[in-house]
Amino acid sequence: MKKLIVKLMGGERFQTMRVSLFCIITSLIVGAAILLAIGKNPLAAFGNLLQGSGLMPKSSYAGRQNMFTDFMSFLDALTPMIFASLAVSAALKAGLFNIGVSGIMLASGFTASVLVGQSELSAFIAKPLVILIGIAVGAIVGALIGWLKYKFNINEVVSSIMINYILMYIITFFINTFFVDPISRQSKTITDSARLTLSGTRAFDLKFDVSLAFPLAIICAIVIKFLFDRTTTGFEIKAVGLSRKAAKYAGMSVPKNIILSMTVSGALAGLAGVTYFCGYFASIQPGVVPSMGFNAIAVALLGNSDPIGCIFSSFLVTVISKGSIYMSSQQGVEMEIADLITSVILIFTACAEFLKMYVGRLSMEQGGSEEAGEA
């Protein structure tokens, strides 16, 4: 057993990736155990997840729908998740936990919905404007959290959670008071020209959604990757994240880099907000903080806070969350099991560092015993 563990995860090549994979597979096994315990077939349930995400064909489809339409809808859900996890990882690089992604998403989504979503602007102006508003609102809130951190030494976890609730209640108040749709009890639906998703596009006899921002998410991931790996700014942010004292000693500005990384993180969270509330959805439910902001923490950790890693981990978590609707209807299981599996993944990911250390120690021991055996 120990030998197997070392074989699977020992050595330095792609170790992080292999450890992540190990965490995912173990979590899926735990998920399967839960499903078995409540009398469901885990393989069928996991298959439903893939089917619901358009990665495997379902047995039957409604008119004008097939696997492709499911997949397009999956991409639409994936887009904000990529932005949200990039937001968390951008802050993590500077050693900060941005738990405020949820609140920022609400704030940017709401601002864009109100300023552009109800206007008569043409799509060519409205859509870029929505994106710009998302970036601006997110950046401002992110910078505020960073500023509170360096100026007043307020733990960013506590401050960002306070800001989450403050934003949630303010927005709930405004929606309920001024922007409520009397039938759906949600905020008024935004216009199609402001929406970042082309909903109900018709082609090849199909009707599907097109996420216009998906390419932007991929580009953002690459840009962020470049920023952190190849620029002096990224070098400074990473140094600040790993050792504030050493960074200061080396002549870097700790406050500047903390605020900068939180601003970038906020801007990305803002993009997550507009692609979620003005893309995947077209309205906001009052009184709730979107859980995507919290799941994004899991996703970013799972992706080892690497931007490219985030794409893959977002993909996985979105398969679970998006597919859970279909699974729920097919298997009669509560949809929350998806959140449960995601949290289990998160627990294992939190132990990833320990796993690496443990594997290192095991392989050292085994190396030692082999030498003794030869002698």
Of the residues 55, 66, 71, 97, which one makes contact with another protein according to CB under 8 A = 97
Q: Does 29 contact another protein by CB under 8 A?
A: no
Print the binding letters for residues 203-242 with another protein: x by CB under 8 A, - otherwise. Answer: ---------------------------xxxx-x--xx--x
287, 72 in Cβ contact below 8 A? no
**Could you tell me the smallest distance in angstroms from the CB atom of residue 194 to another protein?**
26
- Check binding of 347 to another protein (CB under 8 A): yes
Applying CB under 8 A, does 249 fall inside the site for another protein?
Answer: yes
Token reading at 89? 């990882």
Helix, coil or strand: residue 56: coil
Tell the smallest beta-carbon distance from residue 201 to another protein (Å): 34
Asked whether position 140 contacts another protein by CB under 8 A, the answer is: no
Q: Which of 3, 41, 351, 369 binds another protein (CB under 8 A)?
A: 351
Interface with another protein includes 369 (CB under 8 A)? no
> Considering Cα of 263, then 192, then 73, then 345, what sign does the dihedral take?
positive
**By CB under 8 A, residue 328 contacts another protein:** no
Crossing angle, helix 292-302 and helix 67-93, to 10 degrees? 80
Handedness of CA 372, 373, 374, 375 (dihedral sign): positive
Query: What is each CA distance from 196 to 95, 101, 209, 275, in whole angstroms?
Result: 32, 19, 10, 6
- DSSP calls for 81-110: HHHHHHHHHHHHHTT---TTHHHHHHHHHH
Residue 59 in contact with residue 195, Cβ under 8 Å? Answer: no
Q: Contact between 354 and another protein (CB under 8 A)?
A: yes
Verify binding: residue 172, another protein, rule CB under 8 A.
Answer: yes
Q: Compare residues 192 and 229 and give the one whose CB is closer to another protein.
A: 229
How far is it, in rounded angstroms, from Cα 109 to Cα 102?
11
121 CB-contact burial (10 Å; exposed 0-12 / middle 13-18 / buried 19+): middle
Residues of this chain that bind another protein (CB under 8 A): 38, 97, 99, 148, 152-155, 157-159, 161-166, 169-170, 172-173, 176-177, 230-233, 235, 238-239, 242-243, 245-252, 287, 291, 294-295, 297-298, 301, 334, 336-337, 339-340, 342-344, 346-347, 350-351, 353-354, 357, 361, 364, 368
